[in-house]
Structure formats: C-alpha cells, structure tokens
Amino acid sequence: MPERPGARDGALRRRVDGLERAVAEARGHLDDVLLDDVAAVAERSAGRLRLSSAHTVVAIAGATGSGKSTTFNALAGAELSTAGAQRPTTSVATALVWSDEEPGDGEGEGDDVTALLDWLGVPAAGRFHRPSLATSTPRAALPEGLVLLDLPDHDSIRTAHHDEAERVVALADALIWVVDPQKYADAAIHQRFLRPLAGHRDVTMVVLNHLDTVPEENRPDLLRDLRKVLVADGMRDPRILGVSARHGTGIEELRAAIRRRVEDHRDAERRALADLAAATDRLRAAAGEAPGAVPDVWVADLERRVAQASGTRRRGPVDRSAVNAAVRALADEATRDLTDAWGAPVRAAATAHLDRTADRLDAELAALPAPVAPRPAGPWAGARLAGLAAAGLGLLLLAGSLSGLLGLPAGVGIGIGLLAVGLALAGGAHRVVTAASARAGLPTAGDDDESGRVIARVLRAQVLDPVRAELSSYGRFRAGLDTAAASRTGR
C-alpha cells in the first residue's frame, strides 16, 4: 500500500504551509473574502494530505440531463444512482468504492476509506463497496482503490443541489465533466467550473455523452468544436472522450482512461498542486510585485536629491518642495508594480511625515557648528596665484620652444622648470589656505560629510524605516508565495 501523502511528500506540505503564511501576512492588506477563499484552498489541501493515498477520488459532474448518473452506473456495471433526464434526482453525492476493503468500524483496514468518505461528506446510504455489489463490470476494469462519485446537477434549480456539487468538486482528486451535444457550450458550466479550473488539466477529463444522438459523420466535427470551446476557456490540450452511456459506447475506453490516470495514486497530489498554483496566482495578482527591501541605489538617490535640496548650512531653510518630490519619487519607485491594496500603505509610510522630515532637516542642519567669516589667507593666497601664473608661463614657454616658434635654445629647460616650481608653489599654498579656512569654520569636505550624516539619519527615521517595515511585511508575504509556487517545477 502506498505511503500516506504526508510521509510521501513533505515538500507538498511545505507548499501548503507557505500559502498559509502568505495569507496570514496579507491580512489587513488584501481583501478578506479573497484571503478566506485562499485559506480554504490551503485547508482543503492539508486535509486531503492527512487522508488515504491508497484511494483516488474521481467525481463525475454535469448538468441536468447530461447523463452523468447514467455514465456513473455504466462504469459501475450496476444501477447505483438514480438517473433522470428532465428533473434533478441526485441531491447528495453517491460513492462507489472499487476495492475489496469493507468500511471500517474504527479498528479495521477500512478505516482509511471511511475517513475519506466522511471528509467528502458522502452519506452512509450513498456508499457502495465492490464486495457488496452484484456488478457486471469485470474486477480489473477499474483501478483498485478508485472512489467514484456521482454529484448533484451543477445547474439544478435547487440551490442546495448545486451548492453540494460545488463543494465536492473542490474536494475531488480528479474530475470528469459530462456534457451533451445540445448544452456542451452552456455558459454556466464554463463560467463557474471549467474556466476557473483551466489550470487543472492534469486532473480533468471531459466526456461528451449521448453520442448516439449525433449522426456518425458529424461526431468528429462536434468533438473538435468542443475542444475549441475548452481551449478558449484556457484549458491546454484538454482530454476529451465521446461516449453513449446508455448504449455502452465508449465506456470501456473511459474505464481504461480512469485506470491509467489513478493507478499511480498521484491525482490527489496533482490536484493539490493545481489548487496551490491557482491560489498563488490569485494572491500575486491582488498584491502585485515589489522588492522585499529598499535597494541601496534607491537610498543613495534619495539622499543625493535631499542633499541638493538642503544646499549648505549658510543658505537657510531646505527646499521643502524638492525634499517632498524626492520622497515621493522613492515611494513611486517602490510601488510601481504593486496594486493599491499593498501599494497604498507603502506610499503612506513614505509620505506620512513630509512636514516633519523638512522640519528635522532644518533643525539638525542648523545645529551643526556655524561657519564664521573667512580670514584673509595673507601672502599664501597671493603665493597660490603666483604659483599658478608661473606654471602657466612655463607651459607656454615649453610649448613654444618645442614647436619652433621661439628660438630660445634653453626654452625647453626653462619651461619645465617654471612649470614644476609653479605647480609646487600653488599646491603648497592651496593646502595652507584650505587649512586656514577650516580653522575659520568655512565649509569643507568634512562639513559635507557631517551634513550627509544628518540627512541620512533624518531620512532613515522619517522615511526609510517606515517604508522598510511595509516592504518587510510584503517580503514575508512573497516568501510564502514563492514556497507555495514551487509546485510549478514539480516535486
């Protein structure tokens, strides 16, 4: 007997956990109805993982008069489900358990299938086990461990009937949709079931019943048209089979298809993976995309723009409009690919303290030691100018001598000498002047560094930390989704 899914596929359990973490992190950001729906997907997947992997649940669904109950009975080789062409007759699911395992009483081997049927909500009166049947179906015609369900009509006029159909469709491992030549394109089944389950192709089969009512030469065109309708629903390479359940046409092929699909006992896993992928896509679409942290390049750009808006300490108040524009530019970059559901809180976090940001910049920059009026640099200022002049004259003399414009034989040597002496004199004088300016309190590179530290500190407290807090929450949400989405790459 195969291992229980929990032991067989811990990775699938981790994917369910990832989706649950994403839902928890999204509370307060995304719509609660959506989150409740996705949480229910995770709960159903987790619930199925706790149950038997030795059994595969295949549900037969369809509209009133499509012949799903007739198809169910034909597969079973016995009249187990009441068939009705005009009025809905099935109000709850009927189950055929194709196994020698009898229902358990809490201590026997039948406990697994009993727990599974309880979870599916199949009433005791609707449970049929192979040993108790007088069936005409050969023992090997259906796969061992198959649990075949006949569902209420999805289009029933009785709300309880189609609600029951929707409930069990969400729980089944695999699905067989029975349609008929007259209503196979009916909008109800496509809008409510087939389009939402387009990504569940691996666990879905569509059966076109009542093929006996269609002239044989028209059947290929009918099947091709049904395929086009399903592809338009988004179902890639749909699996379609034509049958006449009443006359037995195609039933053996349907049995063989069911057997091939469930003998590896992986349909429960495939259904869970498809459900997780669809739920993950819904959450991604609702939230959008963003980094989980503020990139360093965004921080550097914000600080640069605010520094330009702040000028120097001698220019007075910062340019508030320029500071606000810089902060809003950061918010726009961070929320560019987010939907409003998550983008609005990020923008609010960035811009909530714009006035306070400018006030603190004004106050903290003004609190830096104020510069005093420059002191004359004395002869060193003149020495710097003289050095630059000498270097320039030397450069001209050197160029003229080398080009032949000047006939001075020693012009090259003199030019080099003047250039070297001038540069040395100018450089030394510049260092003396810079040191004097620093002692006088004039702005220097060190002053720029101190202003930069003030700007970085204010922006971190007023803008960046609040934005990081929101993006950190989004990052945890995305990490949960990424774990759940690992299902796309298989096991």
113-138 pLDDT per residue, tens = 999 999 999 999 999 998 888 888 88
- pLDDT of res. 380: 55
- pLDDT of res. 100: 82
Residue 486 vs residues 13, 40, 268, 280, 482: alpha-carbon distances, Å: 11, 19, 17, 10, 6
Closest CA to 96 of 52, 145, 156, 50: 145
- pLDDT of res. 29: 93
CA 50 distance to own-chain centroid: 26
In terms of DSSP H, where are the helices of 367-464? Answer: 379-403, 411-440, 445-459
Buried b (16+ CB within 10 A) or exposed e, 165-184: beebbebbbbbbbbbbbebb
Say how far apart CA 298 and CA 357 lie, in whole Å. 18
Query: Lowest-pLDDT range, 188-197, 219-228, 472-481?
Result: 188-197
Q: Return the biggest CA–CA distance within the chain.
A: 127
Q: Three-state SS string across 333-355, please?
A: HHCCCECHHHHHHHHHHHHCCHH
- The overall average pLDDT reported for the chain is 83
Residue type (1 letter), 173: D
* pTM confidence score: 0.75
Structure tokens at 252: 């053996």
Q: Are 97 and 213 in contact (CB under 8 A)?
A: no
List residues bridging with 208 in a β-sheet. Answer: 179, 242
Query: How confident is the model over 358-396, as pLDDT tens digits?
Result: 999 999 888 887 655 455 455 656 666 665 666 566 666
Q: Are 422 and 392 in contact (CB under 8 A)?
A: yes
Query: Lowest-pLDDT range, 103-117, 208-222, 422-436?
Result: 422-436
Query: Lowest-pLDDT range, 180-184, 218-222, 299-303, 441-445?
Result: 441-445
Using the predicted structure, report yes or no on whether residue 325 has a pLDDT greater than 90: yes
**Strand order across the beta sheet in which 94-98 lies:** 127-129, 94-98, 146-150, 56-62, 174-179, 204-208, 240-242
Query: Lowest-pLDDT range, 231-235, 261-265, 293-297, 318-322?
Result: 261-265
Using the predicted structure, report yes or no on whether residue 207 has a pLDDT greater than 90: yes
| High-pLDDT (> 70) share of the chain, % | 76
Burial degree of 6 (CB within 10 A; 0-12, 13-18, 19+): middle
- pLDDT of res. 127: 93
Using the predicted structure, report yes or no on whether residue 18 has a pLDDT greater than 90: yes
| High-pLDDT (> 90) share of the chain, % | 53
Helix, coil or strand: residue 176? strand
Mean pLDDT over 142-156 rounds to: 87
Look up tokens 């809180």; give the residue.
345
Using the predicted structure, report yes or no on whether residue 236 has a pLDDT greater than 80: yes
Say how far apart CA 113 and CA 110 lie, in whole Å. 6
- Of the pLDDT bands very low, low, confident and very high (cuts 50, 70, 90), residue 330 is very high
CA 38 distance to own-chain centroid: 13
Query: How confident is the model over 264-315, as pLDDT tens digits?
Result: 888 999 999 999 999 999 999 999 999 888 999 999 999 999 999 887 554 5
List residues bridging with 60 in a β-sheet. Answer: 150, 176
Supply angle C-alpha 129, 131, 132, rounded to 5: 70
Closest CA to 139 of 98, 103, 194, 169: 98
- pLDDT of res. 247: 93
Q: Are 331 and 351 in contact (CB under 8 A)?
A: yes
Say how far apart CA 471 and CA 290 lie, in whole Å. 8
Using the predicted structure, report yes or no on whether residue 345 has a pLDDT greater than 70: yes
Q: How many CB atoms neighbour CB 450 within 10 A?
A: 14
